[in-house]
Structure 1
Amino acid sequence: MQAAHALLWRRSTFCVGDGNCVEAARMPDGNIAVRDTKRGDGGPILTFSAAAFDALLKQAKTEVPSRTA
């Protein structure tokens, strides 16, 4: 996998600034890397195929949980 610091990470639009955010980056092979912003470059990274990530997003959009403070 390409080094985390070399990827172009995009932060979730649901990020509210308290550090509980998710970032995603497209990898050169077309897969999608996902990480927790609190952990940054040193934390674990989940990788999904583009199709699996698309399915995950579609499912998340149809079943948005209620937010708690």
Structure 2
Amino acid sequence: MNVDYKKLWKLLIDKDMKKTDLIPVAGISSNVLAKMNKGEFVSMESIQKVCKALECDVGDICVVNEVEEKK
């Protein structure tokens, strides 16, 4: 499985924000932002901070995609 944060990046564009603006606004670390850029999992606490800062719901910023495993 992987996480798709395209909805978050679009929401930031709609709010006229850069990705790096999220660090001070949401109170997340640069490491969390880097993981999100790579489509990696981050803690639910970090997701909650982003949602609170942007006044949105989890489904508004990310989607979990199931990836088939190679055999």
TM-score between both structures, scaled by the size of structure 1: 0.28
Higher relative contact order (CA 8 A, sep 6+): 2
Structure with the higher helix share, 1 or 2: 2
Structure with the higher strand share, 1 or 2: 1
